[in-house]
Chains A and B, each alone.
Chain A
Amino acid sequence: MDYLQTKGRIFDIQRYSIHDGTGIRTICFLKGCVLRCKWCCNPESQEYGIQEMMVQGKVKIIGQDVTVADVMETVEKDRPYYLRSGGGLTLSGGESLCQPEFARDLLHAAKAVGINTAMESMACAKWNVIEEILPYLDHYLMDIKHMDSDKHKRFTGKGNELMLENAGKIAASGQTRLSIRVPVIPTFNDTAAEIREIAQFAERLPGVEEIYLLPYHRLGQDKYEGLGRTYELPDILPPAPEHMQMLKKTVETSTGLRCQIGG
């Protein structure tokens, strides 16, 4: 059971998460990300290094090195809720795949004791990294942000080629349930045409049945200041509910996918 001793860096564990995967879940947030999305609501997740962030006038240390066993101790506490709700452990970030061994071993540890696993990820990693994780993963919650690689790069720092390629491979592997999630960001990807294009891509992935549209929110804005950074999208507002409904309809009329607003 060496996998229990694998070390990694996390910045939070959130229990009673009900919007990310099935049932009542515990989310473990891994630190470090390959992208730098301008709208990111967890800017403290992006750097791998341990940081200081001002929170309500106090310095908070962001980032903690822990073992898989440490995380599992917390994950185990809500086992009764997973059993009743079909929930379990969700890895999030950052991009969990930035810490491939740790992510793999966390999922392994949960599966080994009968806890359902999910991972939120952009699949922005070499295929062999993902391939090693799939046997332990029940549900892949994959972000696709934009089909236009240039625009993707302008807003996130990287093109989308690798991610789209991996999406195809994950779907083809048949090893995990795959859901596609799209953060809907005004000025970036909130037109019907842009969403339709993502949905049509998702529909072509074998086994994918549903797509989630996650409306942009500003709840992370204060954290930029806390980190001494500037928020680069100060002027955009969360999309109106009617607009989200319109996008949902767009997905439903242009593809055979189920579409849900929110997680």
Chain B
Amino acid sequence: MEKYYTQEISKSDRIPRLVAHLYAKMPEIESARAKLITESYRATEDKPVIMRRALAFEHILDNIPIIIREEELVVGSTTIAPRGCQTYPEFSFKWLEAEFETVATRKADPFYIAEQTKKELREADAYWEGKTTSELATALMTEETKKAIEHNIFTPGNYFYNGVGHVTVQYDKVLAVGYRGIIAQMQEELAKCNPGDADYCTKSQFLKAAIISCEAVIRYANRYADLAEKEAAACSDGIRKQELLQIASNCRRVPEHGAESFYEACQSFWFVQQLLQLESSGHSISPGRFDQYMYPYYKKDLDAGKCTREFAQELIDCIWVKLNDLNKCRDAASAEGFAGYSLFQNLIVGGQDKYGCDVTNDLSFMCITASKHVFLPQPSLSIRVWNKSPHDLLLKAADLTRTGIGLPAYYNDEVIIPSLMSRGLTLEDAREYNIIGCVEPQKAGKTEGWHDAAFYNMCRPLELVFSNGWDKGEKISIETGRVEDMTTFEEFYDAYKKQMDYNISLLVNADNAIDVAHATRCPLPYLSCMVDDCIKRGKTVQEGGAVYNFTGPQGFGIANMADSLYAVKKLVFDEKKVTLADYKRALAMNYGQGFDAVSAGEIVAEILREMESNGISADENQIAGMITAVMNMELPAEDKKKYEDLLAMINEVPKFGNDIEEVDMFARDVAYTYTRPLLNYYNPRGGQFQAGLYPVSANVPLGAQTGATPDGRLAHTPVADGVSPSAGKDVYGPTAAANSVSKLDHGIASNGTLFNQKFHPTALSGEKGLENFVALIRSYFDQKGSHMQFNVVDRETLLDAQAHPEKYAHLVVRVAGYSALFTTLSKSLQDDIIRRTEQGF
């Protein structure tokens, strides 16, 4: 008998109708959660914070409006409106109030908000002034750190404004024993606590809080059972009536008890997935190895003849639709960085078990089929690839890739497993890894990885080298000497490393301040009871309850820094064609290519500061005039020529991404300036810092905060994406680019690396196209690359989609670690995707 069933299972008619219903309207912000948590908090001020969190969660689950959407088979919706979102004022709220009037009309991820909702949110938010995690985090940061954030050296905004999320809990445990079983385990632990124990107060409170949370979840499921029964009674369609009664029966049993059928397992899984995202606003709550923990239920039903493959596929498809029902409103700047309404719910198939055997099964294939059927960005589907991955599975995955959906992302066990072991995971745990969010590997149910802890812009410290620690007229970093005085490349490179080190230490301070703020103000009892070893340790993951603890901030701009430092080395020191002083002037003048309003504003601000120190002031009209003058300034022809000559010289210097050993090994060293120093730092949960090298989609907005760089990149244009070469700089095709990228040390970046390639559909056409595509992935992985993902669309399609978004409402592209609807991305990000090197020949 075959080990797994590989045939394509047909799509139920229900699925397109569910999708159409979900996408009928613009997503909407609702106020129910904010009102309920505030009510609860007002009533519990005398209680410990962990208990307040549990009581608030209970109050929300008991009272939040619930709905069963048309034709659903798996139920549980966080909002009445499809794809709506709740708000989470305990983390932050001011940004949303400030954006009330623009949130519906902004380019990236707009949300409708009713006037009544605004009013209700304002009332609720008023309570939270001074009580949020973001305010506490700010109070815990040093002045230098705040300055560095203000100057965009790095951005810890993700966890500063929101919950942390970024976790995979023990779905398998809930499926097996239900919350009744988990409550029993916690009661047993509670019974062992003695009032005289040193940790009695915290441990007993945590356990009680977690029990309250689980009971609340059971009641919430029963509210759905009641609603389904009520709707069934009123339903005249016999088939739907039966469906509703089945839903009621499912919700009566799970997640309270262990699942007895595949259908119950699906419903149980969904409540866990949904409610984790109601407890906190953290995104990247990742289902992980769904094909593994769901398989026993599927197999049992299939063998007993209780469930057909077609029905199992329909249920999986329904879950895929539900994963797109959850939503989150981010602030305008973050929405650009995380564009595409994405919640990064990463679900991975294939790979090996703890004994090192391949565990691909029917569901691995059916998950890929589900993404093809539903054709929406969520879940962020991933596939584990290793030497013994079945070829069939890779072909199936490649067949999904060529639809242009940007899924799945491919991960290399052969790099990731040893990399995780180097961070202290056991071999068994490392073999069972899954991916969180974009590209971050971890062991499910044991890890608080803080995976997406900040964006660190590696280009900015190089600007600080040229300015000797100054930025926009302020001293914000250490002095590393005037570049005009530097006589060797080593001296220059050393200055860069020092600027990196100093700012990395501030990044750590920022992350740790936020970490402490979450532990102090927003510990999460519900999530924590599904992560080992919180129950035994008697504390939440926020307080260090998890077995494995990390903080993983991601650096980006590797390709720009490699190309920049290499150009400086070649042109200034090896060939002596220009001086560092020339370079500095050229960068300040944006290579003579004119100033945009941002640059002009910065220049004028410096002039004004100079004037003020001399006692001269200027009014608004004069300032506007100065900015216009700077923007329209004509450079002397002689200067302009000089800058253009420099650009031409830079253009001739070899670039990363072209399989040139010397440049690639140089890039490898440059990446170490970020990945190595981070390993020296620890977080308050007792875990190590580890680097990621991926930018989500922040390379566009954060590039907009970065001046001209010595690789010839003009001010405020996007920086390179992930570990990929700079857009358009890799000119020898995908194998050359992949070879270059594989020369970086992916193992040390144990929080994940991201390599994007874009293919013209012709490159994947036919059976031969698929075979060659799989071979390309295999070969990159043979060379110890860690991750690969693909856009498969042609340029014309993208340009047309930009011009006629209405024709392409469902055009999904892979942006960076996730897929998004192309038409919902901002113009600049769309441009970036279009600009990326076409790889189809």
Decide if the interface of chain B is mainly helix, strand, loop or mixed. helix
Pick the contact of A24: B739, B765, B772 (CB < 8 A).
B772
Q: Are B739 and A77 interface neighbours, CB within 8 A?
A: yes
Bound-state Cα–Cα, A19 to B841, Å: 9
Specify the chain B residue showing the minimal Cβ separation from A22: B768
Taking CB atoms and an 8 Å cut-off, the chain A residues in 244-263 that contact chain B are 262
Given contacts A17-B841, A18-B763, A77-B659, contact A85 B733 (CB under 8 A): no
Taking CB atoms and an 8 Å cut-off, the chain A residues in 7-24 that contact chain B are 14-19, 23-24
Pick the contact of A23: B733, B734, B736, B775 (CB < 8 A).
B775
Interface locus among B37-45, B354-362, B778-786 = B778-786
Bound-state Cα–Cα, A24 to B616, Å: 68
Bound-state Cα–Cα, A23 to B774, Å: 11
Chain B residues within an 8 Å CB radius of A80: 779, 782-783
Chain A residues within an 8 Å CB radius of B774: 84
Interface size on B, residues (CB 8 A): 22
Given contacts A14-B733, A18-B763, contact A81 B841 (CB under 8 A): no
| Chain A nearest Cβ from B280, distance in angstroms | 43
Q: Are A81 and B775 interface neighbours, CB within 8 A?
A: yes
Given contacts A15-B733, A77-B736, contact A23 B779 (CB under 8 A): no
Report which residue of A16, A17, A19, A262 has the largest number of chain B beta carbons within 10 angstroms of its beta carbon. A16
Bound-state Cα–Cα, A77 to B782, Å: 13
Chain A residues within an 8 Å CB radius of B735: 15-16, 24, 77-78, 81
Pick the contact of A14: B739, B779, B783, B841 (CB < 8 A).
B841
Bound-state Cα–Cα, A81 to B779, Å: 5
Taking CB atoms and an 8 Å cut-off, the chain A residues in 77-103 that contact chain B are 77-78, 80-81, 83-85, 87
| Chain B nearest Cβ from A77, distance in angstroms | 5
Chain B residues within an 8 Å CB radius of A78: 735, 739, 779
Taking CB atoms and an 8 Å cut-off, the chain B residues in 632-674 that contact chain A are 659
Q: Are A81 and B659 interface neighbours, CB within 8 A?
A: no
Chain B residues within an 8 Å CB radius of A23: 771-772, 775
Please tell me if B418 contacts chain A, counting CB pairs below 8 Å.
no
Taking CB atoms and an 8 Å cut-off, the chain B residues in 725-775 that contact chain A are 732-736, 739, 763, 765, 768-769, 771-772, 774-775
Please tell me if B776 contacts chain A, counting CB pairs below 8 Å.
yes
Chain B residues within an 8 Å CB radius of A85: 771-772, 775-776, 779
Bound-state Cα–Cα, A87 to B768, Å: 12
Chain B residues within an 8 Å CB radius of A262: 765
Specify the chain A residue showing the minimal Cβ separation from B736: A15
Bound-state Cα–Cα, A24 to B768, Å: 10
Bound-state Cα–Cα, A14 to B735, Å: 11
Chain B residues within an 8 Å CB radius of A14: 733, 841
Bound-state Cα–Cα, A15 to B776, Å: 12
Q: Are B736 and A18 interface neighbours, CB within 8 A?
A: no
Bound-state Cα–Cα, A78 to B742, Å: 13
Interface magnitude class on chain A: 10 to 19
Bound-state Cα–Cα, A6 to B783, Å: 31
Bound-state Cα–Cα, A49 to B199, Å: 86
Q: Are A81 and B736 interface neighbours, CB within 8 A?
A: no
Specify the chain B residue showing the minimal Cβ separation from A84: B775
Pick the contact of A81: B732, B763, B776 (CB < 8 A).
B776
Report which residue of A19, A77, A80, A262 has the largest number of chain B beta carbons within 10 angstroms of its beta carbon. A80
Chain A residues within an 8 Å CB radius of B778: 84
Specify the chain A residue showing the minimal Cβ separation from B768: A18
Given contacts A24-B735, A80-B779, contact A16 B841 (CB under 8 A): yes
| Chain A nearest Cβ from B694, distance in angstroms | 24
Bound-state Cα–Cα, A262 to B763, Å: 12
Q: Are B659 and A84 interface neighbours, CB within 8 A?
A: no
Q: Are B775 and A24 interface neighbours, CB within 8 A?
A: yes
Bound-state Cα–Cα, A15 to B769, Å: 16
Bound-state Cα–Cα, A262 to B767, Å: 13
Given contacts A77-B739, A80-B783, contact A15 B775 (CB under 8 A): no
Chain B residues within an 8 Å CB radius of A87: 772, 775
Bound-state Cα–Cα, A133 to B765, Å: 32
Bound-state Cα–Cα, A222 to B208, Å: 76
| Chain B nearest Cβ from A53, distance in angstroms | 17
Chain B residues within an 8 Å CB radius of A77: 659, 735-736, 739
Pick the contact of B732: A15, A18, A83, A84 (CB < 8 A).
A15
| Chain A nearest Cβ from B358, distance in angstroms | 18
Proximity string of chain B (28-57) to chain A, C-beta cutoff 8 Å, 1 when within and 0 when not: 000000000000000000000000000000
| Chain A nearest Cβ from B823, distance in angstroms | 28
Bound-state Cα–Cα, A195 to B783, Å: 45
Bound-state Cα–Cα, A83 to B772, Å: 11
Bound-state Cα–Cα, A77 to B659, Å: 8
Chain A residues within an 8 Å CB radius of B775: 23-24, 81, 84-85, 87
Chain A residues within an 8 Å CB radius of B779: 24, 78, 80-81, 83-85
Chain A residues within an 8 Å CB radius of B772: 18, 23-24, 85, 87
Bound-state Cα–Cα, A17 to B769, Å: 11
Chain B residues within an 8 Å CB radius of A17: 841
| Chain A nearest Cβ from B777, distance in angstroms | 9
| Chain B nearest Cβ from A120, distance in angstroms | 15
Bound-state Cα–Cα, A178 to B769, Å: 21
Chain B residues within an 8 Å CB radius of A18: 763, 768-769, 772, 841
Chain A residues within an 8 Å CB radius of B763: 18
Bound-state Cα–Cα, A77 to B661, Å: 10
Chain B residues within an 8 Å CB radius of A81: 735, 775-776, 779
Bound-state Cα–Cα, A19 to B772, Å: 10
Chain B residues within an 8 Å CB radius of A19: 841
Bound-state Cα–Cα, A13 to B708, Å: 33
Bound-state Cα–Cα, A84 to B735, Å: 13
Bound-state Cα–Cα, A83 to B768, Å: 15
| Chain A nearest Cβ from B778, distance in angstroms | 5
Proximity string of chain A (17-37) to chain B, C-beta cutoff 8 Å, 1 when within and 0 when not: 111000110000000000000
Chain B residues within an 8 Å CB radius of A83: 779, 782
Report which residue of B659, B772, B776 has the largest number of chain A beta carbons within 10 angstroms of its beta carbon. B772
Specify the chain B residue showing the minimal Cβ separation from A78: B735
| Chain B nearest Cβ from A90, distance in angstroms | 13
Bound-state Cα–Cα, A16 to B777, Å: 13
Bound-state Cα–Cα, A84 to B773, Å: 10
Chain A residues within an 8 Å CB radius of B732: 15
Chain B residues within an 8 Å CB radius of A24: 735, 772, 775-776, 779
Bound-state Cα–Cα, A26 to B783, Å: 18
Chain B residues within an 8 Å CB radius of A16: 733-736, 776, 839, 841
Bound-state Cα–Cα, A87 to B778, Å: 14
Specify the chain A residue showing the minimal Cβ separation from B661: A77
Bound-state Cα–Cα, A77 to B774, Å: 18
Bound-state Cα–Cα, A222 to B2, Å: 54
| Chain B nearest Cβ from A109, distance in angstroms | 19
Chain A residues within an 8 Å CB radius of B783: 80
Taking CB atoms and an 8 Å cut-off, the chain A residues in 36-78 that contact chain B are 77-78
Pick the contact of A84: B736, B769, B782 (CB < 8 A).
B782
Bound-state Cα–Cα, A24 to B783, Å: 16
Bound-state Cα–Cα, A89 to B774, Å: 19
Chain A residues within an 8 Å CB radius of B739: 77-78
Chain A residues within an 8 Å CB radius of B765: 262
| Chain B nearest Cβ from A117, distance in angstroms | 18
Bound-state Cα–Cα, A81 to B774, Å: 10
Specify the chain A residue showing the minimal Cβ separation from B739: A77
Chain A residues within an 8 Å CB radius of B768: 18
Bound-state Cα–Cα, A77 to B736, Å: 8
Bound-state Cα–Cα, A18 to B783, Å: 20
Proximity string of chain B (411-439) to chain A, C-beta cutoff 8 Å, 1 when within and 0 when not: 00000000000000000000000000000
Q: 6 smallest A-B Cβ distances: which pairs?
A: A85-B775, A84-B775, A16-B733, A80-B779, A81-B779, A84-B778
9 A–B contacts, CB within 8 A, in A order: A15-B732, A15-B736, A16-B736, A24-B735, A24-B772, A77-B659, A85-B775, A87-B772, A87-B775
Q: Can you add 10 more A-B contacts, CB < 8 Å, to A77-B735, A84-B774?
A: A15-B735, A23-B772, A24-B775, A24-B779, A78-B779, A81-B775, A84-B782, A85-B771, A85-B772, A85-B779
